[in-house]
Structures are given as structure tokens and as C-alpha cells.
Amino acid sequence: MKKRLCALLESSPLVALLDLFVVVACAWGAIHFTPPNERPDRLLFLHLLPLLALVALLCFSVGGLYRTWSRHSLAHLFSTLLLAQTLETTLWMSLCGWEPRWAVARPMILVAALLQLIVLAVLRLLLRAVVRGARQHECAVLVASDSVRIAALRARFESASSAWISIDACLGADEFLALPEAAITWDTVLVEEQTREKTRVIRKATSLGKSVLLVPGIAELWMVGAHLVEVDDQLLFRLSAPHLPPAARSIKRLMDVASAALLLTLTAPILLLAVLLIWLGSRGPVFYAQTRVGANGRPFTLYKLRTMVVDAEERTGPVLASSGDARITSVGRMLRATRIDELPQLGNVLLGEMSLIGPRPERPQFVAQYCALIPGYELRHAVKPGITGLAQVYGGYTTAPEHKLRFDLVYIYDYSLLLDLQIAFKTLLTVLRPDRAEGIGKDPFTPEDLYEQTMAECNNREVTRV
């Protein structure tokens, strides 16, 4: 009964229906808090409500408020709701300016937005408490290939999911397969990607009615874009090379050009102020040019605002920045924390070398080393690199390169315009967290250091941009 209640309350359709009711009720109720001379025609406003409800639903969907929402922290939930509500209010005001017949007084829109935010926050808080109370806490067994991977995966998984699952035991594949059925009392079997006898482990777990969580490897990620094909009585999976369809590429390019041009126009004063601060703060050029690897492995020149001292890598060579890195200037720390140093990359977008959304481009030296360390790393070059991407908003800088690759491949294989909008939305939340721009450890790291340390020390240090 508890599981049914949990599934019902957490289901997207039901929560979306409740949200629509709240949006319509608050918009209609805002009329009573508006001065009589500023109230809209009720009949005309009644016809406008369905459109406003759809706009709100789109904003909430883009914000990720219908995807495992109850497992997020309260801070993440409320900040996402606030940003989604802000986006909805902005679009509402834009609609009023676009169509005079839909014009509604700005005070009424703000009152409706405030009412929606309060009611939706309280509603989500109550639903979250009910769902978490009804959800059965799952005890899991982790089946992995070696002790290093067991430690890394266990630490990462429990820190992110302690509200609903805990790792009760860690076993190798042979140990798990040797267990009698009566001894397998766990609710969930978490299987690491490089586990030996992975198929047998999954088959045994599912035959006993256990839930299976599988960390995907490259082969599993290829299946995201697979299509079923029937040849007589033979069922096949057709696996395609990672790419975006021509129509999707055209639409994406159109959105990139329009968005980059608009963002450059809006942020021009900020960019000019940053240029002035860099020029006054330290000697050297204002802009920083660096070779990165783009689509199909072709190198291009990426532009950023300079945040480090001149010739920062003259002694060390190509390395990743560290927290408290002495090479970063005082102005540079502020620019990195606010991501203002990334603004010149909008020029790369206009030139067609980058996209707003996509896998982050790496330096040729790092790419060569990552390709040697991580099988399938070169597949992420099937699309244009982006200023932000799925790995940045979901994985973060604490994520090891091989884990970031999973996000990049999922983005390529499961691409959609809605996914781009969701990533853009979540990037705004990421920008509000300065800690996400900090470096790793105390000293500059090489890619090999990063790979080994993130696996050996449970992936608990943050990687930053260079």
C-alpha cells in the first residue's frame, strides 16, 4: 500500500495536474488583490488561463520539477521552483506585450506569481514529506569488480542517495553468485559496469524479484540510441554511430546563433566592465586563447577572459587548476566564481566552432591522455562542444572523467530540444553556486592524477576549468 501511495504521489501526471490547478487558482485569485481600475476583463482573462497554465507547465518541466523531484534536497527543490516561477512570470509578461488583448496589469502578474510560489512550495513540501514517509528504505548489495571501485561507488552513491537507499554489503561477482537464494535478502542489487559475469549477476537478481541498478558502460550507453529491427523471425538491435540528425542540427544551430547574439547584447556591459578590471588588475592581455578539441576531433581556438597570471603554465605545463591556486588573480577568482570569464565563448558559438549546449571541449594534451585511460572517450567528439552540458549540470566538477563521459553520450544519443532547454535552465542554478568553480586539492593536477585520485579516493575532490 505504501509503495502504491509513493508511486502515485511522485508520478509526474498527478503532480503536474496539481500544479496546473494551483497556477489557475492563484492567477484567478490574484484578481481580488488587484485595484478595481487595474483588473482585467474576467471573461477575456478566463480564456487566457489555459495558455498561462501551459506556459507554467512548460517552465516547470524544463526546470526538472517532475523528474525524481522528491529525492532532491530542500534547497535544490526550492531554488529550482523559484527559478521556474521567475521564468514563467517573465514569459507571462512577454505574452502581455506581444498581444495587447492579453495585457494584464504588472502588479496583478506579480501578485499571482507570489501566490503561486508560496502555494506550490507548501504543496511540494507536504508531498515530499508524504512520499518520503511512504517510500520503503531500500537496502542494497553492491557487486563490483575490485575494492577500489567498490569504495568509490559506495561513497558516491550513498552521499547522493542516503534518503532512500543504503549499501548494506559489498561483494565480488563470484561471491554474489555463490550465495544461496535464502541469503539474498537485499531489496536492490547495484551492479558496477566492469563487474565480471555481469549478465549472470543480473539474471540471478531479477529471478529473485530484486530491483537492479546498473552502472552503464559504453555498451549499455550505445543501447540508448538503439532501434529494434525484425529480419524474418530474428530480432535485432540496430546501433548507430553517435550523431545528431540533420534536422536537429539545423534547429540547434539556429537556436545557437539567436541565443548567442542575444546573450552577447545583454551581457555587453558586464563584459566591458570585466575587461576593464582585468586590464587594471594585472599585466598582460585581457583575453586568453587556448586550443581545444572540437567536433570530429578538429582543433579550434577557444576564447575566455584571462583569469590567471601571464605564462601560468610555463613551469608546470598543461595542468588542471587547484583550489587556492596562486596562478589565479584576485579578479580572476571573481570571474570564475560568476562564470563571466566564459562569455567570450559566445563568439565561438557564432563562428560555428561551439554550441551553447554540448560536451565541454578539452585540450589536445588532455584528450590524448583521457582516450588512453578511458575507452570510448573519443565518441564525445561526434557533436560540437558546448559552453555547458549535461555533465556540468548533473555530474559537476567532482565527477571523474569516465563518469562525465556517460552523461555526454546520453546527451548525444538521447538529444532533444527539450533536453537543451533543461540543461540551460539547470545551468542557471549551477552558476549560483560559486563552490562549483573551485579547483581540486592544493596543487595543479595532470589528467592521470585526476583519474587515479578520483577513483582511489572515492571521487571526492572537485575538478575545475583551466
Give the pLDDT confidence of 254-275 residue by residue, as tens digits. Answer: 999 999 999 999 999 999 999 9
Residue 444: is its pLDDT beyond 80? Answer: no
Q: Do residue 438 and residue 369 come from a single domain?
A: yes
CATH number of 184's domain: 3.40.50.2300
Q: What is the mean pLDDT of residues 28-34?
A: 81
Query: Which range (113-117, 316-320, 331-335) has the least confidence?
Result: 316-320
Q: Do residue 341 and residue 431 come from a single domain?
A: yes
Examine residue 321 and state whether it is found in any structural domain, yes or no. yes
Examine residue 404 and state whether it is found in any structural domain, yes or no. yes
Q: Do residue 378 and residue 250 come from a single domain?
A: yes
Q: Do residue 262 and residue 394 come from a single domain?
A: yes
| pLDDT for res 455 | 42
Examine residue 164 and state whether it is found in any structural domain, yes or no. yes
Q: Do residue 49 and residue 143 come from a single domain?
A: no
Of 134, 159, 188, the one marking the end of a domain is 134
Q: Do residue 116 and residue 189 come from a single domain?
A: no
Confidence of residue 162 (pLDDT cuts 50, 70, 90): low
Dist. CA 340–CA 304, nearest whole Å? 9
Regarding beta strands 386-388 and 355-357, do their DSSP bridges make them parallel or antiparallel, or are they unpaired? parallel
Count of C-beta atoms within a 10 Å radius of residue 61: 19
Question: Model-level pTM?
Answer: 0.74
Q: Which long-range CB contacts under 8 A does 39-47 form with residues at least 24 apart?
A: 39/105, 39/108, 40/103, 40/104, 40/105, 40/108, 44/101, 44/102, 45/104
Q: Do residue 260 and residue 168 come from a single domain?
A: no
Which domain covers residue 401, as residue numbers? 246-456
Dist. CA 288–CA 304, nearest whole Å? 5
Percent of the chain with pLDDT over 70: 81
Examine residue 166 and state whether it is found in any structural domain, yes or no. yes
Examine residue 466 and state whether it is found in any structural domain, yes or no. no
Q: Which residue has the higher pLDDT, 98 or 355?
A: 355
| pLDDT for res 456 | 45
Q: What is the mean pLDDT of residues 118-142?
A: 81
Examine residue 228 and state whether it is found in any structural domain, yes or no. no
Q: Do residue 289 and residue 379 come from a single domain?
A: yes
Examine residue 241 and state whether it is found in any structural domain, yes or no. no
Q: Do residue 438 and residue 397 come from a single domain?
A: yes
7-30 per-position pLDDT tens digit: 666 667 888 888 889 988 888 888
Three cell numbers written together for 312 = 601560468
Torsion of CA 352, 357, 359, 360, to 10 degrees: 80
Confidence of residue 53 (pLDDT cuts 50, 70, 90): confident
Q: Do residue 123 and residue 147 come from a single domain?
A: no
SS3 state of residue 290: strand
Asked if 335 and 341 count as a contact pair (C-beta separation under 8 A), the reply is yes
Asked if 275 and 286 count as a contact pair (C-beta separation under 8 A), the reply is yes
Q: Do residue 81 and residue 153 come from a single domain?
A: no
Asked if 344 and 304 count as a contact pair (C-beta separation under 8 A), the reply is yes
Examine residue 236 and state whether it is found in any structural domain, yes or no. no
Q: What is the mean pLDDT of residues 411-415?
A: 88
Query: φ and ψ at 164, to 5 degrees?
Result: -135, -10
- Structurally, the chain folds into a number of domains equal to 3
Of 134, 153, 181, the one marking the end of a domain is 134
Alpha-carbon separation of residue 143 from 164, 375, 458 (angstroms)? 19, 21, 16
Of 117, 134, 151, the one marking the end of a domain is 134
Q: Do residue 65 and residue 205 come from a single domain?
A: no
Spatial neighbors of 22 by CB under 8 A, at least 6 apart, are 116, 119, 120, 123
Using alpha carbons, select from 146, 136, 151 the residue that is nearest to residue 186: 136
